[in-house]
A and B are shown apart, each in its own frame.
Chain A
Amino acid sequence: MHETEVHVHVNGADRRMRVEPRTTLADALREELHLTGTHLGCEHGVCGACTVLVDGDAVRACLVLAVQAEGAEVTTIEGLTPDDGTLSPVQEAFRANHGLQCGFCTPGFVVSVTALLRDNPDPTDDEIREGLSGNLCRCTGYQGIMAAVRQAAGR
């Protein structure tokens, strides 16, 4: 019930967060570190809008307690964005292919796609659809997203 201090390496920097045990990583990133690019679409682990990388793995930040991330390496959408004002190849592919409209699901998609293509750089369409079936979008009908992932995979 009381707060505790958690040390996490976030987007390349050592950070400390004061959290309750019940605070999710998603809420801690947003509220304590003001990294508001990670969005809460459902808070029960279905929509994927909160996807971040923990120790390199794409996970639903709403299903990780902040205290479980003690000592871990966390990368959010902000951390995937290059420092020099450009966009990452995945981000650029989304922009070039009208892969977003309201943008609320977008950080989750960008993080998930970045992880998927890192582990499978040349996916088939079926592998793309299966891989991203855990990220929900309500605006795009997924059309621009498919096109973006194909482009980012070099097709």
Chain B
Amino acid sequence: MEGNTFTGAARYTGSRVHRVEDARLLTGRGTFVDDIVRPGMLHACFVRSPFARARIDGIDADEARALPGVRAVLTAADLHPDVHEPWYSTAGKDIPDNPRPPLAEGEARFVGDPVALVIAETRALAEDAADLVLVDFDPLDAVADYTTAAESGALVHEGFEANVAGQLRGRGRRDVDEVFASAAHVVEEVIHQQAYAAVPMETRGLVVEWSGEDLTIWSATQAPHEVRAFASRLLGLPEHHIRVIMRDTGGGFGQKVVPLREDMCLMLAARKVRAPIKWIEDRRENLMAAGQARHEHATAAMAFDDDGTILAARIDHVQDVGAYPTPWPVGTAAAVGMLFPGPYRMDKASWSTVSVFSNTAGRTAYRGPWMYETTAREVLLDIAARRIGIDPVELRRRNMLSADELPYSNPNGMPYSDMSPREVFEQALGIVDYDGFRREQAQARTEGRYLGIGTSSYVEPTTTAMAPYGTEGATIRIEPSGTVNVYLGGGSTGNSLETAAVQLAADALGVDIADVATIQGDTAITPFGGGTGGSRSGSMIAGAVTETAAGLRERIVQIAAGLLEAAPEDIELAESRASVRGTPSKAVTLREIADVAYFKPHALPPGVPAGLEASGRYAARSPMIWANATHVCTCEVDVETGLVRILRYVVSEDCGPMINPNVVEGQIAGGTVQGIGGALLEHLSYDEDGNPTATTFLDYLLPTIADVPDLEYGHIETPGPGAGGYKGVGEGGAIGAPAAVVNAVADALAPFGADITRLPIGPADVVRIVEAAS
């Protein structure tokens, strides 16, 4: 198993295999966390702050506790003494983290901040009781706007001066400034991205059950082993006394990658209340308290020479991290600066980033958390093109890296390799017929119609190998009857990891796909895994399965060779049978081989152990695996009403070879539509007092099926250094889409002269641009 090739014939890998998850999910037989029922189970509900910032002078829960059916009302005083070490594996123990108390203690720091935990016989009763809890709030001036937080005078967290959670900067600023000072063209803009969020269709939730010795947690999560590790540290309870189970989880996109404060409260409450407890977040809570993302702005600039060649890039980035960012957000923000040069050739770049607290929901991870670098860069490039007087595609052609220039270190030290930036760009433009569209656009303008086209190109570090993501384990058991079970840590929240595992294992063992099943996401049963996140699972699961399968394959071949009286190198495995090459009638089934392995060990060849079970662990071969894509969007803008209609949307992407093209395209589609939402519709908005104004689906607008066209895909397969050459694809759609849409709208409105530097673009914003021009 050296190199990038499988030892097995790729019969299933690479093809559009139908999903094994679908049978249960299509028939309503999935097991989501709200489907879990435990004997004597109680239900939890949080009392939450209605103020963005307020002192908590007292909590009177007498009336609430007296309500029939109410079992407990727990406050910080009840839960916090049991807190040991609440830190996250990805961030580590020693980072300069902000406080993150399970419940608000002494001060509420955002509207929705959990203040007390009510536990009752039903959720409805718990909500009734929550309404009876009297919290003595003394409202304070809130830091509602991160852009003025430094001057606010109020501190979100004591000890964090000017409300700065942290800052980082790259080198070379002086050199870059010198280049800017003498460049033929400098284009600089402040680009604002709004707060929006992952909004999975299933909200957060968990069930906790304490047995007196062991804690069992059913969780809606992307990483069951991180839930276990975190619970162990939080509670001071050894890991082997904790079991975390996830079966079906309804979307995560980063929001479920680590336990958040409410999860902490339930873990702490488990040993205090003598019954299993279920907490299912409702949608209003999810929009208020599960965290925000994407809220940031930067002064972004590029210097060009006369003919549009990029000389240098500079970005000074500021992001809103809310009151309780989780986990520590400062490190990820560095990626914004370091990736700002994107897929373009340039000698110099500099960056800085500042993370600022505000009295709003904390920043949590969301699909490509650093994606602002693509929004800022690609929007800036179109603005530059219009100002310099070059077609935006031509400007990119002059500067975009092509595959034969790689490996290439960008000026911030990012080591690009195994990508095809210029190639996907050209492929996407070919699919959309760029020149044809420009002709169509010109014709439409003569008819008073406004069409536009926008592109967006990015590079993405997937499958990063930092702890706890650097390894992935698998256990494969060929059962006595010859069928196969593949055990993986999992973490799929829709990522089709069961199907991927089954495809990969079937090929690695030469087994019919109908003979393979997978068990994932139970820490008592499945090997340690990092979960889903950072677009890692395709590569890491491929590695885990193929490494583990290789040893088993060896044993199968040996046993078959013995049974068939042939040389091992002449044995072929396919469709759950081992046969002699050239003589297909000389064959034995995997069932017969397993029968020998388990029940006739005396008949095994010398040196071959009994049984057919193996565990293995794959270690990532490189610190990251690069993937890239180009998005192209065309639109028509109704300049009377401001409504934008997307006409065509093309994504040409390079995630290397594909385990399952359906899954790849599905991931791109989902992320892309989230990005379209981010460009046009979604806004987790707050008023000037820090009150959230989008707390239901009536105000937080998700894209519907009527808002998006059929997506068109192009694929280029540049293998990466990981197992199978597979690269990550989960996050890319959400990274590339917003800029493509913004650029398309700006292009449509080019006759009206204004640039768009603030997202989202609503119809009122479009009309304002049109009216300002006349």
Contact = CB atoms under 8 A, between A and B. Distances in A.
A106 B23 CA distance: 12
B25 A106 contact: yes
Contacts of B32: 36, 39, 104
Contacts, number: 176
Interface string B703-739: 0111010110000000000000000000001000000
Interface stretch (B86-94, B199-207, B321-329, B603-611): B199-207
A112 to B, nearest CB: 11
A76 B30 CA distance: 14
Contacts of A98: 16, 19, 662-663, 665-666
B249 interface: yes
A19 to B, nearest CB: 11
19 contacts: A35-B28, A36-B34, A37-B29, A40-B280, A44-B697, A78-B27, A95-B22, A96-B18, A100-B25, A101-B496, A103-B26, A104-B30, A104-B250, A128-B705, A130-B706, A137-B705, A139-B201, A141-B733, A143-B669
B508 to A, nearest CB: 23
Contact of B18 (A23, A95, A103, A133): A95
A58 B28 CA distance: 16
Interface string A129-155: 110111111111111111000000000
B570 interface: no
Given A100-B25, A102-B200, A139-B670, A41 B705 contact: no
Interface of B: 16, 18-19, 21-30, 32, 34-35, 37, 124, 199-203, 248-251, 253, 280, 282-283, 493-496, 662-663, 665-666, 668-674, 696-698, 702, 704-706, 708, 710-711, 733
A46 interface: yes
Contacts of B671: 141
Contact of B202 (A39, A43, A94, A133): A39
A34 B25 CA distance: 16
A51 to B, nearest CB: 12
Nearest to B28: A37
Interface in A45-84: 46-47, 49, 76-78, 81
B656 to A, nearest CB: 20
A103 B21 contact: yes
B283 A44 contact: yes
Contacts of B706: 129-130, 132-133
Given A130-B706, A142-B673, A102 B494 contact: yes
Contacts of B696: 42, 44, 46
Chain A contact surface mostly: loop
A96 B23 CA distance: 11
A101 B283 contact: no
A8 interface: no
B735 to A, nearest CB: 14
Given A77-B27, A94-B26, A105-B201, A143 B711 contact: yes
B124 A37 contact: no
B218 to A, nearest CB: 13
A103 B711 contact: no
Given A22-B124, A91-B26, A100-B22, A142 B705 contact: yes
A91 B670 CA distance: 20
Contact of B201 (A104, A132, A141, A145): A104
B34 A40 contact: yes
A94 B542 CA distance: 26
A102 B708 contact: no
B28 A77 contact: yes
Contacts of B253: 138
Contacts of A39: 32, 34, 201-202, 250
Contacts of B495: 101
A98 to B, nearest CB: 4
Contacts of B280: 40
A138 to B, nearest CB: 5
